[in-house]
Chains A and B, each alone.
Chain A
């Protein structure tokens, strides 16, 4: 059974862009180990040539005409929820240190 280590949790947190406290690391280590222990039962399933299902109603390639449609979204309304705006642009922190 998968038993997560502290390093495993830190790696997951890093991949998911989460910063965890020491307490959280231990908590998630034991909880995620328990959840993985439960879903482990999938490993014993005989898959006998079956293929995975991604879409349940059988729709494929839903296309539309390549035309601009006005759904009434206004760019300035969208910008109202942005934490930091300058000259109608989204401002982010420095990327290269």
Chain B
């Protein structure tokens, strides 16, 4: 495995100082990607554009110009971000060959500070899954054990960070898609408050829960990249005001109060996962935090609500793939209707079709009130219960997912795969920030993640706690 990267802040400073070049960093990243090919974390590399951008940055340095806070730092974007220099496929056959006519806002913000995208990472097609097995192209392997999944849907991004292919990677998180793979691969995975980072230029999945995720090997790297990307964007009207400087974290927030979510430690949680979470709780108590069990009574309903709301939004968002304006188009159709049907039939994978039909069902006349509206009301209930919990506690904690990384091919049944999201969907439904931090390993040396949650718009406080926890648990 490639060696660890220096902290991002040091890499950028050394590039600016001329003691490292952006060209060297890009080269190193591309070499690491080539050496780790067996893991299949990467769909495409962007060498020409990356080298060109590195050359520009190195020339600026020579001329004594400022190059930005991420000068020359390579990164990898999940392949559902529109990025110049390679196709954007969302790991789907229907978008094969699609080249971005513009870039995602967050990519532009990273580039403005000198960061360089070197590759696009694998995912469950369109973000639909928890293992990358739903990629229409290939399955990514877990860096700790090649017979296991890396989690998903940002499995390629998580594996890439743990394999040290780049200092940071972008994912997305609509129901756990950055936190769960971070937990399976052993890195940090973060879902912000809904709206904190712009989704303009990202392939839409479920618009009321879609967020940009960040995956790194440590919290300081994460906070710096968040600081570059966060904030309002006129191209995404759901964006919210940001907090000031995310790099200036308050790590020790004792005597803050932490609620340990009772429903997430009940039956069905792997014993090693439970043991590591309990160990983390003891460590937190040891340094002066108050940690108490808290019950959020509607939590057991969150997965059912999620699997109504999200397919509904997916069926609507995926209606744009009609074979006419972009993406795969069936050429032998006799009329427009047949062109739609055949393009979608051949272009979409099994899970996309499953979710489209599920969404179509819950939105259809006669079922809308019974399913979709009911799920939106459960969402109201969950929001009110989380608000109550956050009146008593500054943070909530629990596991990220019931198990560690499972064997490739183990979850043939779609419902079994959905169950992997049981502890991550609640933060997505209520819109609060949540992060997965490494918390030891199970008896097979597979990573376990600790999930930390904070109220909406308290991302900075959450990252401060995560930074402290990261140090306490290492």
Contacts and interface: CB of A to CB of B under 8 A. Distances in A.
Nearest to B373: A52
Residue with the highest number of chain B CB atoms closer than 10 Å, among A41, A53, A94: A53
Contact of A12 (B194, B319, B357, B418): B357
A57 interface: yes
A8 B358 CA distance: 11
B234 interface: yes
A15 B324 contact: no
21 contacts: A12-B361, A19-B341, A28-B357, A32-B358, A34-B415, A39-B305, A39-B308, A39-B375, A42-B301, A43-B370, A50-B377, A52-B379, A55-B208, A56-B429, A57-B194, A59-B238, A72-B102, A74-B101, A90-B324, A92-B336, A93-B336
B183 to A, nearest CB: 23
Interface in B325-369: 325-327, 329, 331, 333-342, 344-345, 348, 353-354, 356-358, 360-362, 364
Residue with the highest number of chain A CB atoms closer than 10 Å, among B101, B240, B337, B376: B101
Contact of B356 (A16, A43, A55, A69): A16
B381 interface: yes
A15 B381 CA distance: 31
Contacts of B102: 71-73, 77
A57 B373 CA distance: 19
Nearest to B336: A93
B237 interface: yes
Interface string A25-50: 00010011011101111110101001
A68 interface: no
B176 to A, nearest CB: 16
B371 A18 contact: no
A45 B308 CA distance: 15
Nearest to B338: A93
Interface of B: 97-99, 101-102, 193-195, 208, 234-235, 237-238, 240, 298, 301, 304-305, 307-308, 315, 319, 322-327, 329, 331, 333-342, 344-345, 348, 353-354, 356-358, 360-362, 364, 370-371, 373-381, 383, 413-415, 418, 429-431, 456
A8 to B, nearest CB: 8
A53 B387 CA distance: 14
B374 A47 contact: yes
Contacts of B334: 93-94
Nearest to A76: B101
Q: List the 9 closest pairs (A to B, CB-CB), nearest first.
A: A52-B376, A56-B431, A83-B329, A81-B326, A62-B237, A19-B341, A77-B101, A19-B345, A39-B304
A74 B165 CA distance: 34
A42 B329 CA distance: 39
A94 B335 CA distance: 5
A71 B235 contact: yes
Given A35-B307, A42-B305, A43-B370, A18 B357 contact: yes
